[in-house]
Amino acid sequence: MLELNRYDTNELKEKDKKHLWHNITPYSEQDRPMIVTEAAGSWVTDSEGNRYLDAMSGLWCVNVGYGRQELADAAYKQLSTMPYFPLTQSHLPAIELAEKLNEWLEGEYVIFFSNSGSEANEVAFKIARQYQQQIGQHNRFKFISRYRAYHGSSLGALSATGQAQRKYKYEPLTSGFLHVAPPDSYRRPDGMSVEDFNLQCANEIERTIVWEGVESVAAVIMEPVITGGGIIVPEPSYLKRVEEICNQYGVLLIIDEVICGFGRSGRKFGHQNFSIQPDIVTMAKGLTSGYLPLSATAVRKEIYDTFKDNTEMYSHLRHVNTFGGNPASCALALANLQLLEREQLVARAEVLGQRLRSAFDDLLEHPLVGDIRHFGFLLGIELVADKTTKAPASVDVVKKIIGECKRAGLIIGKNGDTVAGYNNVLTFSPPLASTDDDMAFIISTFKQVMANQIASAD
Ligand code: PLP
């Protein structure tokens, strides 16, 4: 751990500014980064001794909370026994974790390990294209995803992403990626029922497949619920209809569980709330609760079986990842899943999500709050400038509220500055192990900040 008395914070910040390139943050906001030095439970402490409740679990990942000694112990033990061997061969932690993931997935899947969510999705795209070729569908190379969705930062995963500002200045990206509208029920046409609107959005996928040429589409990729793009929760019938369309047209269904997985949704995986059986499931973040890098691409066994044809020279997956499935990461992930089970944190996520949603009920009367959506222990508050027209609140208003929460010791998130026109959703994704006191703090602090917005407008 950093010894605070060896450095003063200002000196650290100068060094930071000189040597470190921060993720996504605009340069003007990097002047005074928070330097986190300790973390326990749902709380983090910065180098100046300030404490914050992290209601975003880092980047939506620290599901079991910070400071779990048994996760550190599992990694340490594995590093001391056998720190590294590539998965061109095999090792015990990877085998045990793959078996455990199958139990969690409630299906028969074969697991490919990587290090990040982006990589897990890249692997899914390569597998989907190769699979289609290997079953004689030589022209199926296109992918369909949704506007507002985020699927990662590498060029393929970014191509699947439906957020314009993330792509700006990095284009042209990978060809063959198409987008359809998400089921954003809050902004459905006047007079249309939520159910009909969701059906219309799902059917847009069918129309796109047909218009593009059925024989050209390899797969659809989606999160069960759009998370980073603004917590867009579909009707249960939506995902069922998407699955039906995919099955009808021979298109694979890839479900991105990078955020929704590992209990966040109140079920082990988000898609289990919708009773669908994806062809490929990608996962990262909560797999290790963010303690070490690890991600996975789970592929239905029937698909994997088409990669076993020894009579064809290139039927196997020619993808290698030096660090993917690192033994310490796998051992830690296994300990993480055992902890989630032992403390029944998946069920707790459902309870806490419901509690947060109910506590925020009265915020629907607030002049800035257009809509509140939740899915398990994920919650989004859509801020509007005008409740009748639903005109989105400005980025400045969103940032002001986030800044005031932070000054009061509460870290909440927003849906990036990357969704064209709609950067107006505040997000909550606290550790699933948050205590009742933590919950009380999140609720009272946020409500006070929102009340202050009315007072300061008067
Ligand atoms: N998919 C989703 C839904 C995500 O939210 C993210 C990251 O936030 C990714 C993929 C990419 O994961 P990573 O940042 O580990 O590459």
Contact status, residue 239 vs residue 269, Cβ threshold 8 Å:
no
> Does the Cβ of 245 fall within 6 Å of ligand 1?
no
> Does the Cβ of 123 fall within 6 Å of ligand 1?
no
The winner for highest mean pLDDT among 11-15, 25-29, 111-115 is 111-115
Question: What are 113-127's pLDDT values in tens digits?
Answer: 999 999 999 999 999
Among protein residues, the one whose CA lies closest to atom 7 of ligand 1: 152
Does pLDDT of 2 surpass 60? Answer: no
Read off the pLDDT band of 301 (50, 70, 90). Answer: very high
Is the model's pTM score more than 0.80? yes
How many Å apart are CA 445 and CA 176, to the nearest integer? 46
> Does the Cβ of 327 fall within 6 Å of ligand 1?
no
Tokens of 8: 């003063």
Contact status, residue 378 vs residue 394, Cβ threshold 8 Å:
no
**116 Cα–ligand 1 center, Å:** 7
What's the mean pLDDT in 208-237? 98
For the four alpha carbons of 157, 269, 332 and 343, in that order, the dihedral sign comes to positive
Q: What integer pLDDT is reported at residue 310 of this predicted model? A: 83
Read off the pLDDT band of 25 (50, 70, 90). Answer: confident
Greatest CA separation found in the chain? 76
Contacts of 33 (CB under 8 A, 6+ apart): 13, 16, 22, 25
Question: Taking all residues of the chain, what is their mean pLDDT, rounded to a whole number?
Answer: 96
What's the mean pLDDT in 327-345? 98
- Position 19: which residue type? H
Q: What integer pLDDT is reported at residue 455 of this predicted model? A: 81
Q: What integer pLDDT is reported at residue 33 of this predicted model? A: 85
How many Å apart are CA 252 and CA 385, to the nearest integer? 40
CATH 3.30.1180.20 fits 69-342, yes or no: no
Site to probe by mutation for ligand 1, drawn from 113, 155, 256, 258 as the one with most ligand atoms within 8 Å of Cβ, is 258
> Does the Cβ of 117 fall within 6 Å of ligand 1?
yes
Among protein residues, the one whose CA lies closest to atom 8 of ligand 1: 152
**157 Cα–ligand 1 center, Å:** 9
Tokens of 43: 């709380």
> Does the Cβ of 206 fall within 6 Å of ligand 1?
no
For the chain, residues classed under CATH 3.40.640.10 are 69-342
Site to probe by mutation for ligand 1, drawn from 60, 118, 260, 295 as the one with most ligand atoms within 8 Å of Cβ, is 118
Q: What integer pLDDT is reported at residue 30 of this predicted model? A: 67
Question: What are 69-125's pLDDT values in tens digits?
Answer: 999 999 999 999 999 999 999 999 999 999 999 999 999 999 999 999 999 999 999
Q: What integer pLDDT is reported at residue 312 of this predicted model? A: 87
Tokens of 287: 């797999």
**367 Cα–ligand 1 center, Å:** 33
Q: What integer pLDDT is reported at residue 456 of this predicted model? A: 82
How many Å apart are CA 264 and CA 267, to the nearest integer? 7
Read off the pLDDT band of 6 (50, 70, 90). Answer: low
**212 Cα–ligand 1 center, Å:** 27
Does pLDDT of 435 surpass 80? Answer: yes
Contact status, residue 349 vs residue 379, Cβ threshold 8 Å:
no
What's the mean pLDDT in 127-155? 98
> Does the Cβ of 118 fall within 6 Å of ligand 1?
yes
Read off the pLDDT band of 421 (50, 70, 90). Answer: confident
Read off the pLDDT band of 28 (50, 70, 90). Answer: confident
Read off the pLDDT band of 249 (50, 70, 90). Answer: very high
CATH class for the region spanning 34-64+344-457? alpha beta
Does pLDDT of 4 surpass 70? Answer: no
Among protein residues, the one whose CA lies closest to atom 1 of ligand 1: 151
**38 Cα–ligand 1 center, Å:** 24
Does pLDDT of 345 surpass 60? Answer: yes
Contact status, residue 425 vs residue 383, Cβ threshold 8 Å:
yes
What's the mean pLDDT in 370-394? 97
The DSSP bridge partners found for residue 371 are 382
> Does the Cβ of 150 fall within 6 Å of ligand 1?
yes
**High-pLDDT (> 70) share of the chain, %:** 98
For the four alpha carbons of 131, 133, 136 and 141, in that order, the dihedral sign comes to positive
For the chain, residues classed under CATH 3.90.1150.10 are 34-64+344-457
Read off the pLDDT band of 7 (50, 70, 90). Answer: low
Question: What are 146-201's pLDDT values in tens digits?
Answer: 999 999 999 999 999 999 999 999 999 999 999 999 999 999 999 999 999 999 99
Q: Closest by alpha carbon to 332, among 151, 96, 50? A: 96
Does pLDDT of 5 surpass 70? Answer: no
**63 Cα–ligand 1 center, Å:** 15
Read off the pLDDT band of 409 (50, 70, 90). Answer: very high
**121 Cα–ligand 1 center, Å:** 9
- Tell the residue number behind the tokens 């005074």, with chain if given: 32
